[in-house]
Structures are given as C-alpha cells and as structure tokens.
Amino acid sequence: MIRLAEKSDLPGLLELERRAFPKDHFTRAQLLHLLTRASGIFLVDAMFQTSTIRASAILLFRKNSGTARLYSIGVHPDYQARGLARRLLRRCEILARLRRCRTMALEVREENRAARRLYESVGYVIRGRIPEYYSDGAAAITYEKQL
C-alpha cells in the first residue's frame, strides 16, 4: 500500500534506510526533519497492518519553482525487482503534477546502474554530470523528465 509516511513509521524507515542504503543513509534526525519540516512529500510502500516499510520516496518542492526534486527512492532488498520503485516513482510524478510542477529532477550516483536503468526506462533524460558530488568523491548524473 502506498501512503504518506507518518512519524510512527520512523523505526521501519530506519530499517529500510539501513538495508537499502548500507553506505550512505539518512539518520533518525534527518528522517524526522524530512517527515515533519521539509517542503515535500514523503511516501512509503508499507505492508498492511505491520511496521514493515518495503520502499520509500521523498519529493522536495521549492517556492516558485516548477521543478520537483526526487530526493530519495529506495526499496528494501527483500522486495526489489517486483516493480515497487517504478510504481512509487509514478505516484511521485502524479503528485508533482498535482502541485503544478512540470519537471522532475534528480541526481544519482554515476555507478548506480539499477537506479539509472529505472529512471531511463520511464523517460528520464541525462542533463549533466557533477564530479565529486558525493562525500566519497563519486560523481552524480543529473536527470530530468517533463511531466
């Protein structure tokens, strides 16, 4: 079930972060900020009547900007390759359109083949490359899609 994330999802979100992003994941404080204060939409794919979060996606908006930013998307390894990310991304795009955004933008690690194939398979096009974007020195590829 895809729904808006709630504060009570924090334990499940932390577990998802730890498993989906072993090297570079959000802390509890960062998640709490994103859940309660950020200008955006935090979606989860949650198992019905359990605390298990199978996947999450975070969209951020800026004032007076027609571009929404896909800040994060991650699927728990136990639930990958079932179409969850594609479904969540589609929902993000619909919600961005409802917020009058015409473009979705995102950054992804250059070497993240799975994510890049996901984005390219649903129409995202490369806009640029930012060297040493991540703290470990990895480059980011920037993508955009007209919604």
Ligand X SMILES: CC(C)(COP(=O)(O)OP(=O)(O)OC[C@H]1O[C@@H](n2cnc3c(N)ncnc32)[C@H](O)[C@@H]1OP(=O)(O)O)[C@@H](O)C(=O)NCCC(=O)NCCS
User: Is residue 90 close enough to count as binding ligand X by CB under 6 A?
Assistant: no
User: Is residue 75 close enough to count as binding ligand X by CB under 6 A?
Assistant: yes
* Nearer residue to ligand X within complex by CB, 100 or 125: 125
End-to-end CA distance of the chain: 24
Question: How does DSSP assign 45-111, residue by residue?
Answer: EE-TTSS-EEEEEEEE--TT-SEEEEEEEEE-GGG-SSSHHHHHHHHHHHHHHHTT--EEEEEEETT
User: Is residue 142 close enough to count as binding ligand X by CB under 6 A?
Assistant: no
* Nearer residue to ligand X within complex by CB, 5 or 75: 75
Site string for ligand X, 15-44 (x = CB under 6 A): -----xx-----------------------
* Nearer residue to ligand X within complex by CB, 24 or 100: 24
Select the residue interacting with ligand X from 52, 67, 112, 142 (CB under 6 A): 112
Give the span between the Cα atoms of 69 and 103, in whole angstroms. 9
